[in-house]
Amino acid sequence: MTKKEKATLFDEYLKKLYGNVECGLDSGGDPFRLLVMAILSAQCTDVRVNIVSKTLFEKLPDAKAMAESKEGELEELIRSVGLYNSKAKNLRACAKRICDTYDGKVPKEMEDLLTLGGVGRKVANLVRGDIYGLGGIVADTHCIRITHRLGLTTKPDPLTTERELDKLIPKSEQSDFCHRIVMFGRDICTARSPKCDKCEMQSVCKYK
Ligand code: SF4
């Protein structure tokens, strides 16, 4: 079986398991809000980020408000997500650049997104895929671990995972594929003890 065939088989299996999926971050389809929430989600659960974001966006609804927020205000609003000092610093810089350079709108191009504070390829791909429909592999810990176990990637690192999966999964499928793989990583192919006996990929999985 080629890697492409295995990736297609896995994609179909994930669809069968999880059907239609949505991003765990409840941004309401707003690019700036998804960007902020993705930055906040580093080492924090989606549930916590959704709770914190509700109040945050009531007080600071857009890039302009966030860029102009008083010193300490943003920190206080996001305190419970952890690493709040560095996240606040990144968010303020990100919001300011969006206002100053991109006329208040979140850019679409990868090279532009990567100039924003706190935005790496994972966050950029999430926004490009979920908001702008441009596809993008969100190489998070689940995606990296599982696709390497399956033998779809040659190295378990973010950039290799993104580049190699980009050739195996059609652009139009990439966002949903990444959302489903997170669910699969929590339910079945967990980090410590994957439930291989329950997994329909076991006959073609390198790890198994
Ligand atoms: S067979 Fe095991 S290691 Fe391979 S994808 Fe399934 S659960 Fe993960």
- Residue-wise pLDDT tens digits, 142-172: 999 999 999 999 999 999 999 999 999 999 9
Is residue 116 scored above 90 in pLDDT?
Answer: yes
Cα separation, 29 vs 163, whole angstroms: 26
pLDDT digits (tens, 9 = 90+) for 174-191: 999 999 999 999 999 999
**Residues making up the chain, counted from first to last:** 208
Mean pLDDT, residues 15-20: 96
pLDDT at position 92, please?
A: 96
Global pTM exceeds 0.75:
yes
Does the pLDDT of residue 22 top 90, yes or no? no
User: What tokens does 199 get?
Assistant: 């997994």
Residue from 6, 13, 17, 188 whose mutation best tests the ligand 1 pocket (most atoms within 8 A of CB): 188
Condensed to tens digits (0 to 9), the pLDDT of residues 42-76 reads 999 999 999 999 999 999 999 999 999 998 999 99
3-state secondary structure the chain: CCHHHHHHHHHHHHHHHHCCCCCCCCCCCCHHHHHHHHHHCCCCCHHHHHHHHHHHHHHCCCHHHHHCCCCCHHHHHHHHHCCHHHHHHHHHHHHHHHHHHHCCCCCCCHHHHCCCCCCCHHHHHHHHHHCCCCCCCCCCHHHHHHHHHHCCCCCCCHHHHHHHHHHHCCHHHHHHHHHHHHHHHHHCCCCCCCCHHHCCCHHHCCCC
Q: Where do the structural domains in the chain lie, given as residue ranges?
A: 3-21+137-204, 31-130
pLDDT at 16 over 90: yes
| Domain at 3-21+137-204: CATH architecture | Orthogonal Bundle (1.10)
> Candidates 203, 205, 206: which one to mutate for ligand 1, based on the most atoms within 8 Å of Cβ?
205
Structure tokens at 17: 């398991």
Q: Ligand 1 centre from 32 Cα, in Å? A: 36
Does domain 31-130 sit in CATH 1.10.340.30?
Answer: yes
Topology alike, domains 3-21+137-204 and 31-130: no
> What would the mean pLDDT of 137-142 be, rounded to a whole number?
96
Q: Is the pLDDT at 196 greater than 90, yes or no?
A: yes
- Of ligand 1's listed atoms, the one at least distance from the Cα of 200 is 6
122 is an active site residue? yes
Q: What is the token pair recorded at 159?
A: 């950039």
Structural contact between residues 145 and 160, judged by C-beta atoms closer than 8 angstroms: no
What spacing in Å lies between the alpha carbon of 35 and ligand 1's midpoint?
31
Res 208 pLDDT > 90: no
Residue nearest to atom 8 of ligand 1 (CA): 189
Mean pLDDT of the chain: 96
